[in-house]
Structure 1
Amino acid sequence: MSTRFSGKVAVVTGAAQGILRGVALGIAQEGGQVLLVDRAEFIHEVAAELPQGRGTGFIADLETYAGAHAAMARAMQLHGRIDLLINGVGGAIRMRPFAEFEAAQIDAEIRRSLMPTLYGCHAVLPHMLQQGRGTIVNVSSNATRGIRRVPYSAAKGGVNALTTALAMEYGEQGIRVVATAPGGTQAPPRRVPRNAEGDSAQEQAWMQEAVQQVTGSNFFKRYGTLEEQIAPILFIASDEASYITGAVLPVAGGDNG
């Protein structure tokens, strides 16, 4: 078994389900200590799945700066340092033509898919600067080129810009900032729905159009698997990628967004 994360302390956000759940498990299985952060109560169930003593759940609303600050403070309280921050909170709430979005819905998409990463990076920086090193991995998306989710696409474009700018600004201080840009990914049914209000028949039709675009645009003509998304994140988070910074790695079957 690999020990790439032996002795490392990682904060993984959005870890209650999907790709980031697998990332948290992978880091712990490879020797790391993990603080799993999510606003879903069952984050503690996920933490209990990690090897004994390797994971702790923490509930926080990462769409607020207070939530991001509290998560980093908890990691410091438990472990005294943060070596890795994996920012994974995000996801399109609705899929519809841009002209059909309401103003409040646009705001909600940006708040969901940009602000948790922006806040997380800002909240962890003082700790990494004090240590003189650290790695931030932002989970973005190839949906910067896609249909029926323009506000989400704009948010993920912001994540990409944040990644490159932050890497340039803090590289000399020993902080590495990288990202992956997943494409469409098969995953088990969500325990917390993407859109709490539910989707109308029209919205379901628009979503199907987006699905067809995603599968049609990639070279394999299929969705990726969770494992195909988790492995690249673990690689760029590890010291094996120590000379990679400011990069956004597309993991989308050739559709690079």
Structure 2
Amino acid sequence: MNMQRFSGKVVVVTGAAQGIGRGVALRAAAEGGKVVFVDRADFVAEVAAEAGGDHTAGFVADLETYEGARDTMAFAAEKFGGIDILINGVGGAIRMRPFAEFEPAQIDAEIRRSLMPTLYTCHAVLPYLLKRGGGTIVNISSNATRGIRRVPYSAAKGGVNAITQALAMEYADQNIRVVATAPGGTSAPPRRVPRNAAGDTDQEKAWMNEAVNQVTESTFFKRYGSIDEQVAPILFLASDEASYITGSVLPVAGGDTG
């Protein structure tokens, strides 16, 4: 195995302050990439510094806005001279509840959180990939396209799958690959920024437990995956080892295809 798969590559990782995105960004840097860690959490620079050396940078941006996506790509290109790989890790269900219990503003918030950052960054990065003569986009979707207590989030991730497939077809002749993984439930350290800033009621906690039980029982292994078990396939798809794979959404959910 080539453990310097990203040597000479500029990699932008969004959602890099915690969770799967953090793991992806740190390992891409360990494998030789020049990595821009992007998040709206201001401690993202601390995470980038964990990699050591001068081949990483943290950048604070709100990717729920197009301006955030545009500024991210401009920063990466100026810092490291271009962009080769974009890995989209922003997203995550804010609330879990029966669909009938969602308020309209909550539905909108779920779509903004888990669809729009990927749509915006895919658009904003294209000029840089085209200038480079090609590149790779890896979207982190979810197997929650089939699941309970999070229909708006499921809809957003279905949109991410559609972006992946349509964009791959449209830009294959420009040497741009677009792929995705669809993680299942993943064990991670406690979040420094909470999923739901407003906090969960006892009823919402009960609904979340129902979703957790469904996710666990839907896997063949009857357990959550680890961060490392999610990072490895993401970086495989981002690397040249996956050069003949595009338009695919790879389930990484212990047998649950979503």
Q: How does 1:179-218 map to 2 (within 5 A)?
A: 179-218=180-219
In 2, the alpha carbon distance for the partners of 1:121 and 1:169 equals: 13
Residue 117 (structure 1) shift:
0.2
Question: Residue 172 of structure 2 corresponds to which residue in structure 1?
Answer: 171
Q: Summarize deviations over 1:88-118 as a string: whole Å, max 9, x none.
A: 1000000000000000000000000000000
Which AA in structure 1 matches 2:91?
Answer: G
Alignment map for 1:1-257 (pairs within 5 Å): 2-257=3-258
Q: In structure 2, how many angstroms separate the alpha carbons of the residues matched to 1:160 and 1:180?
A: 9
CA distances 1:126-181 after superposition (whole Å, capped 9, x unpaired): 11112210100000000000000000000000000000000000000010000000
Deviation at 1:5, TM superposition (A): 0.4
- TM-score of the superposition, structure 2-length normalised? 0.99
Counterpart amino acid of 2:160?
Answer: V
Amino acid paired to 1:172: D
Quote the offset at 1:51 in angstroms.
3.0
RMSD, aligned α-carbons: 0.6
Query: Distance in 2 between the 1:43 and 1:64 partners?
Result: 18
Q: Which moved more, 1:205-214 or 1:125-134?
A: 125-134
The one-letter code matched in structure 1 to 2:224 is: Y
Q: Aligned equivalents of 1:51 and 1:12: distance in 2?
A: 17
Instruction: Give aligned-pair identity as a percent.
Output: 76
CA displacement 1:1-39 (0-9 Å, x = unmatched):
711000000000000000110100111000000010000
Q: Provide the rounded CA distance (Å) in 2 between the counterparts of 1:256 and 1:69.
A: 33
Note the alpha carbon deviations across 1:73-101, whole angstroms, 9 max, x for none.
Answer: 00111112100000010000000000000
**Distance (Å, rounded) in 2 between the aligned partners of 1:168 and 1:116:** 20
Moved over 3 A (4+): none
* Distance in 1 (alpha carbons) for counterparts of 2:24 and 2:55: 13
Q: Look up the equivalent residue of 1:18 and give its one-letter code.
A: G
2:209 alignment partner, SS class = helix
Which secondary structure does the structure 1 equivalent of 2:54 belong to? Answer: coil
Note if contact 1:28-1:51 (Cα within 8 Å) is conserved in structure 2. no
Q: Does the aligned pair in 2 maintain the 1:87–1:137 contact within 8 Å? A: yes
**What is the number of equivalent residue pairs in this alignment?**
257
Distance 1:192 1:17 in 2: 9
Q: Distance in 1 between matches of 2:121 and 2:226?
A: 26
**Partners of 1:130 and 1:229 in 2: how far apart?**
30
- Which consecutive residues of structure 2, in runs of 5 or more, have no partner in the other structure? none
Structure 1 residues not aligned, in runs of 5+:
none
Q: What SS does structure 1 have at the residue aligned with 2:139?
A: strand
The alignment partner of 1:111 has SS state of helix
Residues 179-214 of structure 1 show CA distances to partners (whole Å, capped at 9, x for unaligned) of 000000000000000000000000000000000000
Distance in 2 (CA, whole Å) between partners of 1:34 and 1:66 is 20
